[in-house]
Amino acid sequence: MKFIFDPRQLLHDPELYFRRGAFIPHPEQPQRAILVRDALLAAAHEMEAPRDHGIAPVKAVHDEGYVDFLLTGWPEWVKATGTTVPAVPNYHTDRRTWRVPKGVIGKLGYYSTDTSCPLVEGTATAIYWSAQTAIEAAERVRTGETDHIYALCRPPGHHAVQDASWGFCFFNNAAVAAQHLRGRFGKVAILDVDTHAGNGTQDIFYERGDVLYVSIHTDPSDYTPFFLGYEDETGRGEGAGATRNLVLPVGAGVEDILARYDAAVEIIRASGVEALVLSLGLDMSKDDPLSLVGMTTEGFRIGAAKLAALGLPTVIVQEGGYLGPSLSDNAVAFLGAFEAART
């Protein structure tokens, strides 16, 4: 399978993350992408670089002020504080009738939901090229150049809401890709198989009927992202019925997870969508440091074949998957099985 990747995505390199009352090494490290990239190349997958499609496709799903802040916030932070320590917010709004402040300290809090998305010197470049990776993959499917392709996006994106970062995510790459596909396809599905609910993707499309959002994830009642991703959240207005959350209990094993895959396939088949964006989280793995469920490498292989059988033009966008022992094996297994089922 061809995959898209740009090494500039590695420039976002946060060191620490404040979690459960303590600073820990930040889980979203550049090494994640390096391991997956190198394993795919060793397995004879073909890597290509993205072209620069500009910022307009990102602003098609994100607030313009938010996008501009992420791309310019670092030099503003350095100028305002006189330091080059990571820019981490210590103020937050309760969303969303409050005013956008003028200074970088206030903006940092306004455009962030938590402390997991610090701005560092390379953040703007990394998130820009992560988005361009998704756009390039979507463009190739949109134009019919390919039927399926993988975007090795890093940082990930599915927690980023319309106007705020969240959970390691800045630009919502899957949402950007889906919106880009809408330039050709009348209705698009996003299937999210990350262990965490894709609250940002849900937020962006919750009132739209032209993008079906289906998510398989761990129960968020005591697990990130906590506030969204429940089964009774099904969309609003024109989007009524176009959001489906297939929730897994903590401790779910392969059989339970694959049963949700089957349910998602049936929902997508019945929806009449013409193309698919797959938010691929490898962090359901039983040995992923952030996982509370028990997916296996063989489970990823079986799940990939189920999704490939939909036969839809497909953009696979990388989401979670952290530095567990089987990360690269799971990527190779999933993408290899998807490719084999389509050839």
Active-site pick, 12, 158, 159, 180 = 159
Give strand pairing partners of 295: 285
Give the DSSP letter string of 64-133.
HHHHHHHHHHHHHHHHHHS--S-B--S---SSSSSPPPSSHHHHHHHTBSSSS--B-TTHHHHHHHHHHH
Give strand pairing partners of 332: none
E strand intervals along 249-318:
275-280, 314-318
- φ/ψ of 107, rounded to 5, equals -60, -35
- Strand bridging mode 22-25 / 46-48: unpaired
Contacts of range 64-69, beta carbons closer than 8 Å, 24 or more positions apart: 65/100, 65/111, 65/163, 66/111, 66/162, 66/163, 66/164, 67/171, 69/107, 69/111
Cα 200 from Cα 30, distance rounded (Å): 22
Give the DSSP H/E element, type plus range, for residue 192.
strand 188-192
159 is catalytic: yes
Helices vs. strands in the chain: H and E counts, helices first: 10, 10
Contacts of range 223-231, beta carbons closer than 8 Å, 24 or more positions apart: 223/196, 223/250, 223/292, 224/167, 224/196, 225/159, 225/166, 225/167, 225/196, 225/197, 225/199, 227/199, 228/197, 228/199, 228/202, 228/203, 229/196, 229/197, 229/198, 229/199, 229/202
Largest CA distance in the chain: 56
Give the DSSP letter of residue 247.
E
Cα 9 from Cα 191, distance rounded (Å): 24
Active site residues: 159
